[in-house]
Structure 1
Amino acid sequence: MFDGFQEEQIDTGEASVFVRFGGEGPPVVLLHGHPRTSSTWHRVAPRLVEAGHTVVCPDLRGYGRSRGPRFTEDHVGYSKRAVAGDVVAVMKHLGHRRFALAGHDRGGSVALRLTLDHPEAVSRAAFLDCLPLTEHLSRITVEFATQWWHWFFFAQPGIPERVITADPDSWYRGDADAMGSENYDEWRQATRDPDVVRAMLEDYRAGLTVDRRHEEADWDAGKRITCPTLVLWSLQDDLEDLYGDPVAVWRRWATDVRGHGIDSGHHVAEQAPAELARALTDFLQPAPGDSDSDRCSPGREDDDG
Structure 2
Amino acid sequence: MTSIPGFTRQTLHLPGIDLSVQQAGQGPPLILLHGYPQNGMCWSRVAPRLVQHFHVIIPDLRGYGHSAAPPDDAAHTVYSKRRMAQDIIELMDALNLPKANILGHDRGARVAYRLALDHPGRVTRLGIIEIVPTGDFWDAWMADLAMTAYHWTFLAQPAPLPERMIGADPVAYLDHTLASWTLDHTLATLPPEALDSYRAQIRDPARIHAMCADYRAGATTDRRLDGESRAAGARIAAPVCYLWAEHGFPARTGDPLGIWRRWVDDVQGAPCRSGHFVQEENPRAVLDLFLPFFRAGT
Same structural fold, with TM-score higher than 0.5 when normalized by the shorter chain? yes
Q: 282, 292, 298: which one pairs with 1:282?
A: 292
Q: Which aligned pairs between 1:141-152 and structure 2 lie closer than 5 A?
A: 141-152=142-153
Q: What's the counterpart of residue 222 of structure 2?
A: 211
Q: What's the counterpart of residue 231 of structure 1?
A: 242
Q: Aligned letter for 1:228?
A: P
Matched, 1:18 2:20: yes
Q: Is the 8 A contact 1:30 1:102 kept in 2?
A: yes
Q: Which aligned pairs between 1:102-113 and structure 2 lie closer than 5 A?
A: 102-113=103-114
Q: Aligned letter for 1:13?
A: P
Equivalents in 2 of 1:212, 1:132: separation in Å? 9
| TM-score normalized by the length of structure 1 | 0.90
Q: Is the 8 A contact 1:43 1:269 kept in 2?
A: yes
Equivalents in 2 of 1:140, 1:176: separation in Å? 27
C-alpha distance 98-286 of structure 1, shift in aligned 2 (>3 A): farther
Q: Is the 8 A contact 1:130 1:233 kept in 2?
A: yes
Equivalents in 2 of 1:128, 1:43: separation in Å? 15
Cα distance, 1:151 vs. partner? Answer: 0.8
Q: Aligned letter for 1:81?
A: R
Q: Aligned letter for 2:277?
A: H
Q: What's the counterpart of residue 295 of structure 1?
A: none
Q: Which moved more, 1:174-183 or 1:258-267?
A: 174-183
Equivalents in 1 of 2:56, 2:79: separation in Å? 24
Equivalents in 1 of 2:192, 2:147: separation in Å? 32
Q: Which moved more, 1:31-40 or 1:145-154?
A: 145-154
Q: Aligned letter for 1:283?
A: F
Q: What's the counterpart of residue 101 of structure 2?
A: 100
CA offsets per residue over residues 119-171 of structure 1, 9 Å max, x none?
Answer: 00001111100010000111221112211121111111111000101101111
Q: Aligned letter for 1:145?
A: A
Query: Any idea what SS the aligned residue of 1:179 has?
Result: coil
Q: Which moved more, 1:278-287 or 1:260-269?
A: 278-287
Q: What's the counterpart of residue 38 of structure 2?
A: 36
Equivalents in 1 of 2:5, 2:200: separation in Å? 21
C-alpha distance 172-32 of structure 1, shift in aligned 2 (>3 A): same
Q: Is the 8 A contact 2:71 2:209 kept in 1?
A: no
Q: What's the counterpart of residue 54 of structure 1?
A: 55
Q: Is the 8 A contact 2:29 2:54 kept in 1?
A: yes
Equivalents in 2 of 1:239, 1:133: separation in Å? 11
Q: Is the 8 A contact 1:231 1:246 kept in 2?
A: no
Equivalents in 2 of 1:270, 1:208: separation in Å? 27
Q: Aligned letter for 2:20?
A: F
Equivalents in 1 of 2:77, 2:164: separation in Å? 22
Q: Is the 8 A contact 1:14 1:69 kept in 2?
A: no
Query: Any idea what SS the aligned residue of 1:17 has?
Result: strand
Equivalents in 2 of 1:68, 1:86: separation in Å? 13
Cα distance, 1:176 vs. partner? Answer: 5.9
Cα distance, 1:69 vs. partner? Answer: 3.1
Q: Is the 8 A contact 2:35 2:106 kept in 1?
A: yes
Matched, 1:195 2:196: no
Q: Is the 8 A contact 1:26 1:286 kept in 2?
A: no
Q: Is the 8 A contact 2:31 2:103 kept in 1?
A: yes
Q: Is the 8 A contact 2:130 2:245 kept in 1?
A: yes
Q: Aligned letter for 2:66?
A: R
Query: Any idea what SS the aligned residue of 2:26 has?
Result: coil
Q: Which aligned pairs between 1:21-170 and structure 2 lie closer than 5 A?
A: 21-50=23-52, 52-157=53-158, 158-170=160-172
Q: Aligned letter for 1:230?
A: C
Aligned-residue sequence identity (percent) comes to: 38
Q: Aligned letter for 2:266?
A: D
Structure 1 unaligned segments of length 5 or more: list them. 291-305
Q: Is the 8 A contact 2:131 2:249 kept in 1?
A: no
CA offsets per residue over residues 15-36 of structure 1, 9 Å max, x none?
Answer: 1111101101111111111000
Matched, 1:266 2:276: yes
Equivalents in 2 of 1:189, 1:208: separation in Å? 26
Query: Any idea what SS the aligned residue of 2:128 has?
Result: strand
Q: Aligned letter for 1:248?
A: G
> Number of residue pairs matched?
286
Q: Which moved more, 1:41-50 or 1:270-279?
A: 270-279
Q: Which aligned pairs between 1:165-180 and structure 2 lie closer than 5 A?
A: 165-173=167-175, 177-180=188-191
Equivalents in 2 of 1:180, 1:3: separation in Å? 13
Cα distance, 1:286 vs. partner? Answer: 4.2
Q: Which moved more, 1:231-240 or 1:211-220?
A: 231-240
Q: Is the 8 A contact 1:68 1:78 kept in 2?
A: no
